[in-house]
Amino acid sequence: AVEPTTPSLEELLALAVRVVEEGAAIARDPGKDLQVTTKSNRNDLVTAVDRRVEECIAERLLAESGYPLLGEEGHDVETWNGRVWVLDPIDGTMNYVETHRDYAISLALCEDGVPVLGVVMDVVPARCYTALRAGGAWCNGERLAPVKDERGFTDAVIITDLKEMWALPRLARCLEQSRGHRRYGSAALECVEVAAGRAGAFVHMWVSPWDIAAASLICTELGVVFTRLDGTPLDLRWKGSVLVAPGRIHRELLHRLMIDAE
């Protein structure tokens, strides 16, 4: 008998891109009724499309890879040990419902909690960001250059939420000194903005594993430093804060946010 061969990470990345493209097709053509309902509060939304995209991708990945899947809308795993898919079927559901742009599908494959491949699909412009651990990162198949690490934060745009500014007065001061403040409403796409060099930093107090599993690999493959707000290493298995920036800006913001207010 012929032993089935274990798929390479390149093959698994190709599979991940295929299923994310299928999910994007569902999101682009949702049918009449989105069935918008709320979860923890009136601005925490989920739609039938979130669930349908997760269902479709989970089914395909289980059939074609056999690895378990953790997804925001109802797929849990018993353990992070070994290979586990981590999926956010729609990151930026409020945008999906209200602004009709800046929402993403995020899919990563983790080994013992460490992402080894990642896909972040910016659905509306069909821009597909991918990364392979120790292999680099791409946008629509074109290799992305490592981020430049020259600017300080006063020469950069910083992405964060208004809530964070109220929670962190020191962050508000940094934003005043920066080139400006942005917010897009999809944590995955916001990380990718830093990886692509269009923003200098992303700061967020509370992200879930599926928000950042794929985007964190895209960032680190391009030389972006990706830690908790206090500078400690990211452990994807837990929800928490993130400070995402090239080295110099990361050092400057860490110092100003955590060590010295002046």
Binding stretches for Ca ion (CB under 5 A): 72, 88, 90-91, 211
Q: Which residues, 136 to 165, sit near ligand 2AM by CB under 6 A? A: none
Binding of residue 71 to ligand 2AM (CB under 6 A): no
Is 221 annotated to bind a ligand? Reply is no
**CA nearest 27: which of 126, 142, 166?**
126
Binding of residue 93 to ligand 2AM (CB under 6 A): yes
Q: Dihedral of CA 193/195/196/200: which sign? A: positive
- DSSP-derived letter for residue 78 is S
Shortest approach of ligand 2AM to residue 244 CB, angstroms? 13
For residues 65 and 5, give the distance between their C-alpha atoms in angstroms, rounded to a whole number: 11
Binding of residue 92 to ligand 2AM (CB under 6 A): yes
Alpha helices by DSSP H, listed for the chain, are 9-28, 48-65, 93-98, 162-167, 169-177, 187-195, 209-221, 247-254
Cβ pair 121, 128 in contact under 8 A: yes
Is 3 annotated to bind a ligand? Reply is no
Quick one: 9 or 48, whose CB is closer to ligand 2AM?
A: 48
For residues 61 and 50, give the distance between their C-alpha atoms in angstroms, rounded to a whole number: 17
Binding of residue 73 to ligand 2AM (CB under 6 A): no
Select from 10, 11, 44, 235 the one that contacts ligand 2AM (CB under 6 A). Answer: 44
Nearest residue to Ca ion, by Cβ distance, number only:
91
Give the binding site for ligand 2AM (CB under 6 A).
40, 44, 72, 88, 91-93, 185-187, 206, 208, 211
What residues form the annotated binding site for Mg(2+)? 72, 88, 90-91, 211
